[in-house]
Structure formats: C-alpha cells, structure tokens
C-alpha cells in the first residue's frame, strides 16, 4: 500500500498536540490552577472573560468552592491571582478543543476523499472514542475537587494523566503502521519482553499520577534511601489501616512504590537491551533500543533531582515531559519488534 504522507502528518500532528496538552496540564497542576474554572460550557467558555465585570463574576463563583474557602481565602488571594490560575486551566481546555477540531476536520476530509483504508478507519474510530473519553475523565477529575475537598482525587488525576499517555501512544502506533507498512521478522522473545516492559512503564506513569495528586514528592526528600537512612520507612506502616491503602493512598507508601518501580523499569529496559544482543537487529530496532536506554537514565536522574529539590515546577514539568519521550521510545521499539 502506498504511503499517504498527509494522513501520516495528520496523525503525528495529533501526537504533538496531545504532548502540548499534557505539558500545559502539568503546568496547570503544578500551579494549582485546575479548579479555577468551576463551571464549563463548550461554546461560551471558548474565550476567557473579556471584561472586568465578567472576571469579577467568575471570581465570585470561584469563591463558592472549597479551594478558595479552605485555602486561598487565607492567602490574600486577589482577582489578579485568580486570573493567573484561570488562564492555565482555560488554556488546557482550549487546547483540548483544538485537538478535537484538528482530528475531526481532516478525518472527515480524508474520509470523503477515500484516503483512509478500512484498517486505519477502525483505528481512527477508536481514537475518536478515546478523545471523547479523555474529555470525560478531565471533567470527572475536576468535579472531585469541587465538592468537599480542595483537591482533586489522585485516582482520577492518575486516570486522566495516564489515559492521555495511552492516547498519545496509540496515535503514534497508528501513524507507525502507516509509516512502516512492510513487515519485519518478529522477534518473539524480545516482543514479549518489550510488552512486559511497557506494562511496568505504564504502572510507573500511574504512580507518577498518584505522587502528583497526593503531593507525595514533598516528603522523604532523600536518595537513595528515604528519611533517616531507611529503605522502607517506618512512616509507611502508620499512614493507613491496610497495606493496599498504604500503597495507593498514603503519601509515603505511594512514593516508595514510585521510587522502587523506577529501578524495575531501568532493569527491564537494560535486560531488553542486552538480550537483544543475541539477535541481528534492523537499524530501526537498534535505534529504538538505544534511545530507550539513554532516555531511561535521563528520566531516572530527573526523578532523583525532582525528589531531592522537593519538586520545583521546572523539574517536575521536565520529569513529566521526559516520561513522554520515554513512552515514545518504548512505543516505537515495541512496534519495530512486533511488526
């Protein structure tokens, strides 16, 4: 089948837009801006308030909710402060609209022109559903912070974040199917190991969401051991009544899993890399593995420094961005080993 470069560029541009949206989402989270828009309308909220009267109305609505009443009311929080946090949440949602338009309009055009084959059409249908579901997950997450507590549920935050990563990875996979229509000799052992590695990487991303949602990066800011020179800190057992809750809802337990899982991910990628030496690889396969090894060590180092410096915004954001690059390399490598 002849490659249609326009369709490929369309899918890759979608990857770029999802990447930008996740970066802006990271800034939104790190600036505590995610609960600034207490109501949302598809059309009327396309632009931010354009008059002081409308700004004041939006600010007054914000004052009715827990984040202002329990936190910001004590911080001399002004209208100008509100405009700052409103911008990042609005911009995050605005990019979501752009992604929707950037997907649907070219999709309809390519469909009319019959430039999408049946296999790709089915995958695009899945992508369309994933985009809609991601919008729902965003609303579902924000809603959890507008009821009783001035924070969103860390479970819902992790769901929203991880699904964005998965949507990105699947979009990239569909693009790679079109970029490389030819089939490689499948290396079954490496393919299985790469799949296992991807699963653990996704688990690590989920726990990254837990750490972010619980602000768990602000405790035990030591490495390679936790506070007081302990590998498994005593505080973990004191946080919650069961081990399941300690490792899913406790700050110390969640951080322990995230920092320990980092070693697992590094180990699996190194194992995959050295196991691949037994095989004759294509240039694409080797490049993917080389990128994986380089990126995982950069990501590991960023995670350590983010912890040691108590999550400054620029480091927290860079750590999230590098996770995206690592998932990109993992997706590319698995595709080249699978197809």
Confidence of residue 47 (pLDDT cuts 50, 70, 90): confident
Do residues 21 and 135 touch, judged by C-beta distance below 8 A? Answer: no
For residue 4, pLDDT beyond 90: no
Over residues 253-302, the pLDDT tens digits come to: 999 999 999 999 999 999 999 999 999 899 999 999 999 999 999 999 99
Do residues 330 and 265 touch, judged by C-beta distance below 8 A? Answer: no
Do residues 131 and 100 touch, judged by C-beta distance below 8 A? Answer: yes
The pTM of this model reads 0.92
Name the CA radius of gyration of the chain, rounded.
22
Mean pLDDT of the chain: 92
Is the pLDDT higher at 4 or at 171? 171
Confidence of residue 236 (pLDDT cuts 50, 70, 90): very high
Over residues 121-149, the pLDDT tens digits come to: 999 999 999 999 998 998 889 888 888 88
Percent of the chain with pLDDT over 90: 81
């Amino acid at each position: 089948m002849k490659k249609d470069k326009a369709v490929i560029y369309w899918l890759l541009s979608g990857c770029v837009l999802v990447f930008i949206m996740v970066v802006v989402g990271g800034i939104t989270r790190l600036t505590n801006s995610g609960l600034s828009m207490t109501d949302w309308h598809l059309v009327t909220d396309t632009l931010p308030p354009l008059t002081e009267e409308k700004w004041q109305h939006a600010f007054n609505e914000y004052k009715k909710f827990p984040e202002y009443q329990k936190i910001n009311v004590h911080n001399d929080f002004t209208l100008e402060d509100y405009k700052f946090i409103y911008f990042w949440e609005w911009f995050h949602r605005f990019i979501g609209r752009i992604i929707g338009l950037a997907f649907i309009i070219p999709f309809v055009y390519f469909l009319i022109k019959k430039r999408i084959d049946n296999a790709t059409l089915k995958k695009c249908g899945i992508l369309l559903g994933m985009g809609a579901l991601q919008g729902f997950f965003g609303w579902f997450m924000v809603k959890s912070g507008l009821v009783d507590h001035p924070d969103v549920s860390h479970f819902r935050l992790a769901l929203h974040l991880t699904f964005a990563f998965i949507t990105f990875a699947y979009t990239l996979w569909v693009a790679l199917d079109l970029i490389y229509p030819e089939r490689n000799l499948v290396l079954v052992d490496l393919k299985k190991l790469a799949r296992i590695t991807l699963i653990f990487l996704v688990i690590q991303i989920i726990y990254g969401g837990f750490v972010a949602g619980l602000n768990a990066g602000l405790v035990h800011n030591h490495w390679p051991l936790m506070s007081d020179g302990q590998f498994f800190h005593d505080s973990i057992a004191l946080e919650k009544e069961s081990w399941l809750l300690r490792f899913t809802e406790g700050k110390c337990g969640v951080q322990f899993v995230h920092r320990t899982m980092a070693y697992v991910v590094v180990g699996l990628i190194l194992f995959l890399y050295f196991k691949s030496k037994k095989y004759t690889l294509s240039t694409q396969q080797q490049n993917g593995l080389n990128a994986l090894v380089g990126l995982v060590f950069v990501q590991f180092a960023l995670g350590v420094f983010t912890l040691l410096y108590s999550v400054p915004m620029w480091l927290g954001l860079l750590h999230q961005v590098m996770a995206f690059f690592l998932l990109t390399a993992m997706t590319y490598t698995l595709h080249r080993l699978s197809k």
